[in-house]
Amino acid sequence: MSVNSLVQELIDAGVHFGHRASRWNPKMRPYIYGRKNQIHIIDIRETVRGLLRAKKFISEVASEGSLILFVGTKRQASAAVAREAERCNMPYVSERWLGGALTNFSTIRSRMSRLEELEEIRGGDKIAQYSKKAQSSLNREYRKIYRNLNGIRSMNRKPGCMIIVDPKKEKNAILEARALGITTIALIDTNCDPDMVDLPIPGNDDGIRAVEVIMSHMADAVIAGAKNVVAKNEGKDSGKRDSGKKPAAAAPTPAPAETPAAAAAEPKTEATS
């Protein structure tokens, strides 16, 4: 996609609209183009610059086989975050960030074991052994755990980086990522602090369409990086197969043909009578 078409896509999605001027964070001054009707207008050039930088970094992380965690729990972002994360087969948190989801991951894994246990009970005949009141309690517990943990049930190790919508709302996720040294990429509006994240993408984090466009580009970068992992693995496998083959035996070198000059130089022997 060319830069001009990318700019037009971002403008059509309303990525350049910020918050009211009275709610702005002064640290966002370098990313603001101007003001219209008391609404800050974000410099679309800074958005494109941050987006391209983030996509390049995400592709590198994905090409190394690392996990990338999508986080966006606000109402405008939850559906887009879940959809795009599932499209690129990456973990996500779209409902509620549980405290210690990264720093106390062992406890979170135990709750995932409980989720699998509840799924086994509900999916078989064991549920009939419980009373109606117990069944209602189990179903309620299952819905709660499923809503909060289903997106990260495939996360079996620390993610290589995190993609966040609105770091002001996801402050706890940012703090845990910084404590573990995880790189953070965030869509930040004019009321956010850009110093909280490593790779900021200035843009509208309250518009549904704006969030969908940014998350779509993030997922595309993950898929592009994952393709490089597949290509590397295929190259290694073909190299192993080639190294396992026995070298072909060298063909015998044919005897040199007799040249006419050499034949003429040899003395002819006359037949004896």
State residue 6's pLDDT score: 92
Closest by alpha carbon to 185, among 133, 173, 212?
A: 173
Query: Is the dihedral angle over the CA atoms 102, 106, 109, 110 positive or is it negative?
Result: negative
Closest by alpha carbon to 15, among 223, 215, 185, 222?
A: 215
Instruction: Give pTM, 2 decimals.
Output: 0.81
**The pLDDT of residue 160 is above 60:** yes
How far is residue 76's CA from residue 72's CA, in Å, rounded to a whole number? Answer: 9
State residue 137's pLDDT score: 92
* pLDDT average, residue stretch 154-171: 92
Give pairs for 126-131: CB < 8 Å, separation 24+: none
Closest by alpha carbon to 72, among 145, 167, 204, 161?
A: 167
Paired residues of 272 in beta bridges: none
State residue 252's pLDDT score: 52
State residue 108's pLDDT score: 86
Kindly indicate the confidence band of residue 2, based on its pLDDT and cuts at 50, 70 and 90.
confident
Closest by alpha carbon to 81, among 222, 225, 179?
A: 222
How far is residue 103's CA from residue 122's CA, in Å, rounded to a whole number? Answer: 31
| Residue pLDDT, tens place only, 4-57 | 899 999 999 999 999 999 999 999 999 999 999 999 999 999 999 999 999 999
Domains within the chain, CATH numbers bracketed: 3-98+158-231 (3.40.50.10490), 103-155 (1.10.287)
State residue 259's pLDDT score: 44
| Residue pLDDT, tens place only, 231-263 | 766 666 565 566 655 555 555 555 455 544 444
* pLDDT average, residue stretch 167-193: 95
Looking up tokens 């518009």 gives 207
How far is residue 158's CA from residue 228's CA, in Å, rounded to a whole number? Answer: 21
- Give whole-number Cα distances, 146 to 39, 49, 97, 109, 143, in Å: 39, 37, 13, 13, 5
Of 32-36, 104-108, 177-181, 201-205, the one with minimum mean pLDDT is: 104-108
Top-confidence residue, 191 or 124: 191
